Amino acid sequence: MIFDSLNLYILFLVFIVGTCLGSFYNVVILRTLSGESIVFPPSKCPKCGNKLKPWHNIPIISYLFLKGKCAFCKEKISIQYPIVELLTGLLFSFAYIKFGFNYVTLFVLFCISCLIIMTVTDLK
Ligand SMILES: [Zn+2]
């Protein structure tokens, strides 16, 4: 793959999409284990129960900005969140670098997603 500015721009977008999906996979992992619905209720702090604001939900950045603590009660946020977000973003980026932008990549991204969800669920 040639790293011209267009490809780097797409690579950056692929990484961002990966981190957002990684954020969603965290929800899938935790709520599947606890038997809750994936779509409802909206994200809240497990300790103080305050609903998270949209800017508390930005992958990786919010964790760093909040220094790994709940914005309301300062309870520690699990390191699992930024790790899964970063891992998904990086693996999506590698898949794009390796396979380019085509149907094979979509299949690979699907496999990566399933593997991340299954691996982290098993670890927990
Ligand atoms: Zn809290």
Domain range annotation of the chain: 5-123
Distance 50 CA to ligand 1 centre (A): 6
3-state secondary structure of 76: strand
pLDDT band of residue 1 (cuts 50, 70, 90) is low
Distance 67 CA to ligand 1 centre (A): 13
pLDDT of residue 79: 94
- pLDDT tens readout for residues 28-53: 999 888 888 888 888 888 889 999 99
- Is pLDDT of 70 > 80? yes
Rounded Cα–Cα distance for residues 63 and 40 (Å): 22
The pTM of this model reads: 0.90
Distance 51 CA to ligand 1 centre (A): 9
Distance 68 CA to ligand 1 centre (A): 11
Q: Work out the average pLDDT over 81-101.
A: 95
Q: In Å, what is the CA distance from 96 to each residue of 4, 30, 117, 123? A: 14, 28, 20, 27
pLDDT band of residue 6 (cuts 50, 70, 90) is confident
Kindly report the backbone phi and psi dihedral angles of residue 56, in degrees, each rounded to the nearest multiple of 5, phi listed first.
-85, -5
Distance 112 CA to ligand 1 centre (A): 31
Distance 14 CA to ligand 1 centre (A): 31
On whether the CB atoms of residues 7 and 1 are closer than 8 A, the answer is yes
Rounded Cα–Cα distance for residues 36 and 66 (Å): 26
Distance 40 CA to ligand 1 centre (A): 18
Distance 39 CA to ligand 1 centre (A): 20
Say which DSSP state 70 is in. Answer: -
